Homo-oligomer: A and B are copies of this chain.
């Protein structure tokens, strides 16, 4: 009877039953009865049904909330507004004082006669009907709090601890309805493509430090020692889905809850949802082609910006994906870094490109490891020095840059067109400035920004200073206006990432350049990614020169998701663990994968879409919080239920742990 299935929380017992508290009073039974006995669903109308049926002079019953404080007009008549569960509203006309003392957000069931509206726009021009009240029963009387929060309501944004009030506003509940639509379309497409949704465990096995995963203490002790053991919460079903490939499934997907314990940013949550998929006897190409169906279809159906765009084969022209033989443009990591200075470029401004001046033998002269000097020119960016200062001050604001700040030179007069380079001499040497000036064809009103980066083929600083600058430009109002070519969402692939990256030291305040530990490599994405076959032989001597078979799908400068062809050879996987990543206990950590790979695991490749991000994009909102029912704050707290919270140390002892003693 005490079932695992159904109980939220059960058996609440006073810890000290001796302690007699002042008993709260049992509410009046008539009041309770009236709140629990009401007309059944069937006989209830939704307001939008009235419109459909052009109802007139009929009696109906409607459930809903009192949307605003009723207004008393004269002695015997008052007006109110009822909001039904769909968020539609109707005016109530009350000549029986039924609305008396009814506060905002009170839940009622009303009965009355429908008639066309007389006095329009009293509250809202969405009203076209009014309902003459005959009966009103209060199903839940609200306290005054919602009235006190009226200002927030009008601003359309309640404090987060009142999320349940916020969600009564159709604008916000519609985000969750759309999220559901998106999940249905995605499931539908994958089902048609013969994918199978399989649930994989969330309680997983801890991995080494650095992985930033949540831990879950268990009652299971390691024999003898009495040392506690832990589950971790999966950061993604990555290893389980590879085991599913080993299990013989061809096409797996899962709308999967994932968890990550890391410093949160505006667009991150400790728990998040991804559309996780994997295909066997398949390569990354097969996966990319699937995504080239899935994502544009979803955009066609549900995006408010219309169909999804990409670059054509020339890499110059923006066109709808479906006019591009459903192919999404593929940028290599090297192209992305040298043209846009970042691995997730915003291609709504494809012409706003960085120019490498190496071919003109302009070279950086400060740091040997960052020899490439490059510039980006903002054309027709200002008309007067005042308006330059006003609009573009952020370009060389050091606060916006982790390392060195780019040099920014506004072309304010004809002379500057040819002497601009002198300003850059502190960081770069120019053999033939004239030729460069000619090539750049600067005009008064342009802004030229310059900085340095690593040489082609080994760019690990990401974004580069000019990559950050370009991003700032396209996030600024003026930058959007001047340089964005489209309001459509623009997608591209980014491929050929470096398979491994050197560990980077935490930037110190005065570091102008990142400092790498070249003897300590990490997987750029994860250690299960296959190397490009053409780079295979570099694995031994030059692992940082190896490109991986990883692919990111980028839309509007945001990474929608990524995936890769996986390693399925146990020796190669073990070589990567031990010889490159120098994991000492790889057998203990990944023995299950190595064993599966050694017993007939087919070649496989997969992908994961950030579902929260995808929903936010399709809903046209900046924050993923808007598409979550109960998002956690920037500090990881749920302000509605107030989690996380304290736990009695006696409970911890069940798990063989205790507070850390200082």
Chain B residues whose CB sits within 8 angstroms of the CB of A273 once the complex forms: 199
Q: Which of A184-236 contact B (CB under 8 A)?
A: 184, 187, 191, 196-211, 213-220, 222, 226-233, 235-236
Is B655 in contact with A21, judged by CB distance below 8 angstroms?
no
Chain B residues whose CB sits within 8 angstroms of the CB of A183 once the complex forms: 197
Say how many copies of this protein the assembly contains: 2
Instruction: Provide the bound-state CA to CA distance between A29 and B610, in Å.
Output: 35
Instruction: Provide the bound-state CA to CA distance between A270 and B204, in Å.
Output: 12
Q: Out of B36, B145, B584, B632, which one reaches A565, CB within 8 Å?
A: B36
Instruction: Provide the bound-state CA to CA distance between A203 and B631, in Å.
Output: 11
Q: Out of B199, B201, B235, B578, which one reaches A632, CB within 8 Å?
A: B201
Q: A9's closest neighbor in chain B, by CB?
A: B207
Chain B residues whose CB sits within 8 angstroms of the CB of A14 once the complex forms: 520, 581-584
Instruction: Provide the bound-state CA to CA distance between A646 and B659, in Å.
Output: 18
Report the interface size class on chain A. 35 or more
Q: Does A146 contact B (CB under 8 A)?
A: yes
Is B613 in contact with A5, judged by CB distance below 8 angstroms?
yes
Q: Does A325 contact B (CB under 8 A)?
A: no
Q: Does A497 contact B (CB under 8 A)?
A: yes
Min CB gap A622→B, angstroms: 17
Chain B residues whose CB sits within 8 angstroms of the CB of A122 once the complex forms: none
Is B4 in contact with A272, judged by CB distance below 8 angstroms?
yes
Min CB gap A21→B, angstroms: 6
Chain B residues whose CB sits within 8 angstroms of the CB of A571 once the complex forms: 24-25, 27
Q: Which of A363-416 contact B (CB under 8 A)?
A: none
Chain B residues whose CB sits within 8 angstroms of the CB of A527 once the complex forms: 9-10, 12
Chain B residues whose CB sits within 8 angstroms of the CB of A659 once the complex forms: 227-228, 656-658
Q: A36-B530, A233-B216, A568-B140 are in contact. Are A260 and B4 (CB under 8 A)?
A: yes
Is A240 in contact with B629, judged by CB distance below 8 angstroms?
yes
Which one of A177, A261, A662 has the greatest number of beta carbons of chain B within 10 Å? Answer: A261
The digit string for A1-27, where 1 denotes a CB below 8 A from any CB of B, is 111111111111111110101011111
Q: Does A244 contact B (CB under 8 A)?
A: yes
Q: Out of B8, B13, B204, B248, which one reaches A582, CB within 8 Å?
A: B13
Instruction: Provide the bound-state CA to CA distance between A213 and B286, in Å.
Output: 42
Binds B, one of A274-282, A353-361, A469-477: A274-282
Q: Does A596 contact B (CB under 8 A)?
A: yes
Instruction: Provide the bound-state CA to CA distance between A555 and B229, in Å.
Output: 37
Instruction: Provide the bound-state CA to CA distance between A656 and B166, in Å.
Output: 35
Is B3 in contact with A173, judged by CB distance below 8 angstroms?
no
Instruction: Provide the bound-state CA to CA distance between A537 and B28, in Å.
Output: 9
Q: A238-B9, A659-B656 are in contact. Are A40 and B581 (CB under 8 A)?
A: no
Q: A36-B533, A591-B642 are in contact. List 5 more A-B contacts (CB 8 A).
A: A4-B610, A85-B250, A85-B602, A187-B187, A243-B630
